[in-house]
Structure 1
């Protein structure tokens, strides 16, 4: 799970396996696999970096198509 900040400055944790896509319009909008959307203070690149850090901590590496 990764820690994010809502638009009203409340922090929360999200299961990153539920993230379908991340858009910037102009705020960061995360669309979940169930179609729900969340707006967060972090930039899309920050959300991706948090996701990659989580992957490294949880699995010891970043999964790719060939491993």
Structure 2
């Protein structure tokens, strides 16, 4: 889960595994794989950083095939 704030400052958590896109319109809009959209106070870059950190914490990128590596050494 990543922790974000709505435009009114209210905090919410979002499961980063279900995030399909993160865009700036200029507000940061997050679209989930089920089509639901959320608007966050954080920038697109901040959201991307939180997603990357979440992936590291759950070791989702520990598989070399997911990372795009052909052969693990």
TM > 0.5 between the two? yes
How many Å separate the matches in 1 of 2:46 and 2:67? 20
1:36-51 residue pairs with structure 2 within 5 A?
36-51=36-51
* Equivalent residue pairs, number: 67
Residue pair 2:61, 2:67 contacting (<8 A) in 1 also = no
Instruction: Tell me which residue corresponds to 2:67.
Output: 64
Superposed CA deviations along residues 9-58 of structure 1, whole A, max 9, x for unmatched, are 11111000110101100100001101111000000000000011111122
How many Å separate the matches in 1 of 2:17 and 2:68? 16
Secondary structure of the residue aligned to 1:50 is helix
After superposition, the Cα gap between the structure-2 partners of 1:61 and 1:17, relative to the gap in structure 1 and judged at 3 Å, is closer
Q: Which runs of 5+ in 2 are unaligned?
A: none
Answer with 1 or 2: which has the greater Rg: 2
RMSD: 1.8
What's the TM-score, normalizing by structure 2? Answer: 0.81
